[in-house]
């Protein structure tokens, strides 16, 4: 009996060990899922910009093609610069003409400034002469009826007074003309400032005829060529920044307890399952549009897999990829992500 029992236990021992190993493996898997959340509901993302010209015109040069990689500063396309060069040349010509006018006027003013002291002295002398002749006339007028002065003397005094007043008016006119000349130069100097602003703007517009890459990237959705008229602030194509790649992974809300910016992650893209890329959580989504919701404002929409069962909502987690392979990463490609919270 004892030998039979021992033999039975020995026969059951491998089965018990197998069951125990399966239980431990299940516990390990559950622990792994709880501590390292994983999802294959993810896609590859990169920043993009619309390439728009700052000025309008016909495209005369386009040394790029669709899906071509470009470096920062590379020429993407050139708009016909001739109209903008003509506007710049016209503004510079008007500035040259105005400078000549200002120089001529300044020479005239300098000549007037040289005579300014003499004009001022002449005004003072004219005022003194008017005062003197007026005083003589006033003194003679009561003396003529009494016979103490002749009518001729009075007439001479009156004539002298009129001449003195005429001289005063002439000198005052010279002073006003000098002041008006200075005011004219001030107006031309202000006009020159405006012309300089026009020249700076024309130079900027001429520079804008060359559209260059603001960063390393890939040309996307190029559907135009030389000869096409490009309108200012209207997109011509899209430029994708392939120096910085992200994976937007949708994790269940129950997996986000220990997820925050800086948490390490492992990324796999569908393009090549055999390669794994390191990443780090850049940000965690704080809002999604619920099923049946009517909130409008650009919130992400994430479909639940089963609508008739209450399941955990998923939130987007943006993961920055370290050292991405530009040959494997494509905008919108499927991916999977595993987070590794510490």
pLDDT tens over the chain, length 342 residues: 455 555 555 556 666 666 666 666 555 555 555 557 899 999 999 999 999 999 999 999 999 999 999 999 999 999 999 999 999 999 999 999 999 998 988 887 777 666 666 666 777 777 777 777 787 777 777 777 777 667 777 677 778 778 777 877 887 787 777 666 555 678 888 999 999 999 999 999 999 999 999 999 999 999 999 999 999 999 999 999 999 999 999 999 988 888 899 999 999 999 898 999 999 999 999 888 776 555 556 667 666 655 555 667 899 999 999 999 988 999 999 999 999 887
Assess if CATH 2.60.40.10 describes domain 37-77+224-339.
no
Instruction: Provide the residue ranges of all domains of the chain, joining segments of one domain with +.
Output: 37-77+224-339, 82-208
Residue 168 — φ and ψ, nearest 5°?
-65, -45
R_g of the chain computed on alpha carbons: 46
* Nearest-angstrom CA–CA distance, 316 and 331: 16
Query: Within 10 Å of residue 98's Cβ, how many Cβ atoms?
Result: 16
Question: Two tokens at 37?
Answer: 């959340």
Burial degree of 250 (CB within 10 A; 0-12, 13-18, 19+) = buried
Q: Looking up tokens 């220990």, which residue turns up?
A: 258
Residue range 82-208 forms a domain whose CATH class is: mainly alpha
């Amino acid at each position: 009996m004892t030998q039979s029992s021992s033999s039975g236990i020995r026969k059951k021992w491998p089965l018990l060990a197998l069951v125990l190993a399966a239980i431990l493996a299940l516990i390990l898997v559950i622990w792994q899922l709880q501590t390292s959340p994983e999802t294959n509901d993810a896609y590859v993302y990169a920043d993009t910009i619309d390439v728009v010209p700052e000025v309008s015109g016909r495209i005369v040069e386009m040394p790029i093609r669709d899906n071509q990689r470009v470096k920062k500063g590379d020429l993407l396309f050139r708009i016909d610069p001739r109209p903008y060069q003509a506007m710049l040349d016209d503004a510079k010509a008007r500035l040259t003409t105005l400078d000549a006018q200002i120089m001529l006027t300044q020479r005239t003013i300098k000549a007037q400034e040289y005579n300014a002291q003499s004009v001022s002295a002449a005004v003072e002398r004219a005022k003194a002469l008017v005062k003197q002749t007026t005083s003589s006339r006033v003194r003679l007028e009561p003396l003529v009826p009494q016979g103490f002065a002749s009518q001729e003397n009075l007439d001479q005094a009156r004539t002298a007074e009129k001449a003195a007043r005429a001289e005063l008016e002439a000198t005052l006119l010279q002073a006003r003309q000098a002041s008006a000349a200075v005011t004219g130069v001030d107006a031309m100097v202000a006009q020159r400032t405006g012309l300089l602003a026009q020249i700076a703007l024309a130079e900027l517009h001429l520079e804008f005829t060359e559209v260059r890459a603001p960063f390393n990237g890939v040309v996307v959705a190029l559907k135009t060529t030389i000869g096409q008229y490009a309108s200012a602030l209207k997109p011509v194509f899209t430029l994708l920044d392939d120096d910085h790649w992200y994976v937007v992974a949708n994790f269940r809300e129950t997996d986000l307890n220990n997820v925050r910016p800086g948490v390490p992650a492992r990324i796999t893209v569908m393009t090549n399952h055999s390669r794994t890329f390191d990443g780090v959580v850049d940000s965690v989504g704080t809002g999604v549009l619920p099923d049946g919701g009517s909130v409008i404002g650009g919130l992400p929409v994430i479909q639940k897999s089963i609508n008739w069962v209450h399941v955990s909502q998923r939130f987007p987690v943006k993961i920055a990829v370290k050292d991405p392979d530009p040959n494997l990463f494509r905008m919108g490609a499927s991916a999977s992500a595993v987070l590794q919270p510490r």
